[in-house]
Amino acid sequence: MPNRDVLKGDWLPNISVDCVIFGFQENHLKVLLLKFRNNKVWSLAGGFIGKEEDVEDAAKRVLWQRTGLENIYLQQFHTFGDLKRNIGAIEKHQEINLAMGRSNDDLNWLSLRYISIGYYALVDYLKVKVTLNELSDDSAWMDVDQIPALFLDHNEIIKTGLVHLRSSIDTKLAAFNLLPETFTMSELQKVYETILGKVLVRTNFQRKMLSLDILDRIEKKYSGGAHKAPYLYRLDRKKAEAFLSSAL
């Protein structure tokens, strides 16, 4: 896997990749954010594109560098290319540069104009081991509807990504990528509810999921809880693929 050093790499100029990394934690949809070192500015996980690197590989690499994960559900959704996406960032850049012990003219790479290709990733947040880079000194999973003002237009990127996620939840079975290998039906329902932003009727949801014929019920059940334990389900990869290809 590739060089992690953003500053020394042989990158394409003026282009970057930003990843909206979604995770599901405590019944909430969260986004992984990074905080600039010695600074209060938070941002998405982003990176540059190697001169000999596919754009998609760059996104995979960024995801891998920050989370340690590979083979993740990753979708390109929009490219952000307005000049004004940098507006308001100049002061922030100054803060960041100063905080990093660099002069503003010496390190103006951040102030250059960047066109950013937006990807969203769906991960099992329990599997994520966050690795910070030299630009950041903190990370956090933030609830999608409690996100502070971020670097550049990253708030808009998240919003746009969420819209795309929403529209692909049924056709691409996207929600399952946010859950661990096995899960209960009510956990699955919570994921759907969070992504869609509305509550669903349990019985109808259950019927719909089962009728898709993509789930295996594991006969082993939760241990420990009081009362009846919920069943665990697992996405059947073969059935899921059959479903996805039948939907065209």
* Chain residues that interact with DNA, rule: CB under 7 A: 184-186, 200-204, 206-208, 210, 217, 221, 224-231
Is 241 a residue that touches a second copy (CB under 8 A)?
no
Number of neighbours of residue 29 by Cβ within 10 angstroms: 21
Is 15 a residue that touches a second copy (CB under 8 A)?
yes
Q: Is the CB of 79 or the CB of 94 nearer to a second copy? A: 79
Is 18 a residue that touches a second copy (CB under 8 A)?
no
Number of residues that bind a second copy (CB under 8 A): 22
Tell me the one-letter amino acid at 72: I
Q: Residue 81 binds which entry of DNA, a second copy, none, with Cβ cut-offs from 5 to 8 Å by kind? A: a second copy
Instruction: Give whole-number Cα distances, 213 to 2, 200, 240, in Å.
Output: 40, 20, 8
Measured at the CA of 180, the angle between CA 174 and CA 186, to 5 degrees, comes to 75
Q: Residue 228 binds which entry of a second copy, DNA, none, with Cβ cut-offs from 5 to 8 Å by kind? A: DNA
Q: Classify 188 as helix, strand or coil.
A: helix
Choose the stretch contacting a second copy; rule: CB under 8 A; options: 63-71, 74-82, 173-181, 182-190: 74-82
CA-CA-CA-CA torsion sign (40, 43, 45, 49):
negative
Q: Is the CB of 195 or the CB of 215 nearer to a second copy? A: 195
Tell me the one-letter amino acid at 160: T
Give the DSSP H/E element, type plus range, for residue 172: none
Ramachandran assignment for 12, one of left (phi > 0), alpha (psi -120 to 50 degrees), beta (any other):
beta
Work out how close the CB of 54 gets to a second copy at its nearest, in angstroms, rounded to a whole number.
5
Q: Classify 202 as helix, strand or coil.
A: helix
Using N-to-C axis directions, what is the helix angle for 154-168 and 185-196, rounded to 10°?
A: 130
Work out how close the CB of 64 gets to DNA at its nearest, in angstroms, rounded to a whole number.
34
Number of neighbours of residue 136 by Cβ within 10 angstroms: 20
**Contacts (CB under 8 A) with a second copy, residues 107-166:** 113, 115, 117
- Answer for which of 7, 10, 14, 201 binds a second copy (CB under 8 A) is 14
Work out how close the CB of 184 gets to DNA at its nearest, in angstroms, rounded to a whole number.
5
Q: Classify 241 as helix, strand or coil.
A: helix
Q: Residue 78 binds which entry of a second copy, DNA, none, with Cβ cut-offs from 5 to 8 Å by kind? A: a second copy
Residue 194 sits at φ, ψ, to 5 deg, of -70, -45
Choose the stretch contacting a second copy; rule: CB under 8 A; options: 8-16, 40-48, 129-137, 179-187: 8-16
Which residue ranges make up the site for a second copy (CB under 8 A)?
Answer: 12-15, 49, 51-56, 58, 76, 78-79, 81-84, 113, 115, 117
